[in-house]
């Protein structure tokens, strides 16, 4: 199909050159950020064809699609918002990956209706980061607000479903905010998910971390948590650091 025919109003096609993937974006309702690229890079390779991967709060499917070469097997993208799930479906077609990807337009609280418990080898999630309360400021754009704030789901729900979907010794991957790290680790461990690897992401060399990547293993043993070397996104001069340039552009820049 002609790429232009896959696009709707206000949409564009962006490319992650390092993975040779094109993503349909609409900044008015959802566009993937560097967080998605970082989480995909953090995932351990697994080329087994029978691997079953679930991406919760999948948005336009960016994280799963960034992993199409790194992971074998089948991906299921779960996205609540219909317009964004539709973008994900068209993005799968754009990349000719229909045989390996399904998109479910549904609330993750109902995910067991479509995906059996204890059936996934890998579960990924880039959830809404910000808790909601009467004082929290939310984006007036409802689609963006739902993507960023815990309006329709929250950390507890995400972790509960991640744990429920994973097989024993399956791996869960989460990207979140460091200021909620204590809550995240407590929630993971209370749901049989043992944190095993953590990486902090800093916007600049002299700035505190603003992103944390976490890998957890279902029913993994206590202890053995590794805090791997941090990643600094921008150099002091504001340009992307070498590692981020590689993640975005591969060898093309």
Question: Rounded to an integer, what distance in angstroms lies between the CA atom of residue 38 and that of residue 60?
Answer: 16
pLDDT band at 145 (very low <50, low <70, confident <90, very high): very low
pLDDT of 207 above 90: yes
Query: Residue 119: is its pLDDT beyond 70?
Result: yes
Q: What is the full DSSP assignment across 121-150? A: EEEEE----B---TT----SSHHHHHHHBT
Query: Please, what sign has the CA dihedral across residues 118, 121, 127, 133?
Result: positive
Is the pLDDT assigned to residue 168 strictly greater than 80? yes
Domain hosting 32: range is: 3-249
Q: How many CB atoms lie within 10 A of CB 162?
A: 28
Measured CA to CA in angstroms, residue 92 lies from 116, 163, 198 at distances of 23, 26, 30
- For residue 36, report the phi and psi dihedrals to the nearest 5 degrees: -65, -40
Let me know: does 157 contact 109? Beta carbons within 8 Å: yes
Model confidence pLDDT, tens digit, residues 68-77:
999 999 999 9
Is a pLDDT exceeding 60 seen at residue 251?
yes
Helix (H, G, I), strand (E, B) or coil at 93: helix
pLDDT of residue 5: 73
Q: What sign has the CA pseudo-torsion 62, 66, 70, 73?
A: positive
Does residue 103 surpass a pLDDT of 70? yes
Share above pLDDT 70 across residues of the chain, in percent, rounded to a whole number: 88
Mean pLDDT calculated for residue range 39-59: 96
CATH of the domain at 38: 3.40.50.150
At residue 87, the pLDDT reads 94
The pTM assigned to this predicted structure is 0.91
The confidence score (pLDDT) of residue 151 equals 45
Token pair of 138, please?
A: 């939310």
In the chain, % helix, strand, coil (3-state, to 5) comes to 30, 30, 40
> Does residue 148 surpass a pLDDT of 90?
no
Please determine, for residue 150, whether its predicted confidence score (pLDDT) is greater than 50. no
d(CA 97, CA 202): 33
Long-range contacts of the stretch 33-37 (C-beta < 8 A, 24+): 34/233, 34/244, 35/126, 35/175, 35/211, 36/62, 36/63, 36/66, 36/126, 36/175, 37/66, 37/247, 37/248
Mean pLDDT (the chain) is 89
Q: In whole angstroms, what separates CA 57 from the centre of its chain?
A: 7
- pLDDT over 80 at 49, yes or no: yes
Domain tally, the chain: 1
The pLDDT of residue 27: 82
- Average pLDDT (194-214) is 96
User: What is the model's pLDDT at position 222?
Assistant: 86
| Residue-level pLDDT at 152 | 56
Tokens of 145: 């607000």
What integer is the mean pLDDT of 149-172?
86
- Residue 171's pLDDT band, with cuts at 50, 70 and 90, is very high
pLDDT of residue 65: 96
pLDDT at 140: 54
* 21-25 and 12-16 strand pairing: antiparallel
DSSP state letter for 180? G
């Amino acid at each position: 199909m002609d790429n232009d025919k896959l696009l709707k109003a206000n949409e564009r096609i962006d490319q992650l050159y390092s993975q040779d993937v094109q993503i349909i974006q609409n900044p008015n309702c959802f566009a993937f950020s560097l967080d998605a690229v970082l989480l995909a890079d953090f995932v351990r390779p697994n080329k087994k064809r029978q691997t079953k991967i679930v991406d919760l709060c999948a948005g336009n499917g960016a994280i799963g699609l960034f992993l199409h070469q790194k992971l074998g097997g089948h991906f299921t993208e779960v996205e609540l918002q219909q317009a964004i799930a539709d973008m994900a479906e068209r993005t799968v077609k754009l990349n000719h990956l229909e045989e390996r990807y399904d998109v479910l337009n549904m609330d993750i609280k109902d995910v067991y209706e479509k995906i059996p418990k204890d059936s996934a080898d890998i579960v990924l999630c880039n959830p809404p980061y910000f808790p909601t309360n009467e004082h929290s400021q939310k984006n007036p754009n409802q689609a963006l607000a739902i993507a960023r704030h815990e309006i329709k789901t929250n950390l507890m729900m995400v972790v509960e479903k991640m744990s429920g979907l994973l097989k024993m010794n399956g791996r869960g991957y989460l990207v979140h905010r460091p200021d909620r790290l204590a809550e995240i680790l407590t929630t993971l461990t209370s749901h049989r998910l043992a944190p095993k690897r953590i990486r902090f992401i800093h916007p600049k060399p002299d700035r505190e971390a603003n992103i944390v990547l976490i890998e957890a293993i279902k029913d993994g043993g206590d202890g053995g948590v590794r805090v791997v070397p941090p990643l600094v996104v921008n150099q002091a001069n504001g340009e992307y650091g070498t590692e981020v340039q590689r993640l975005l552009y591969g060898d093309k820049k």
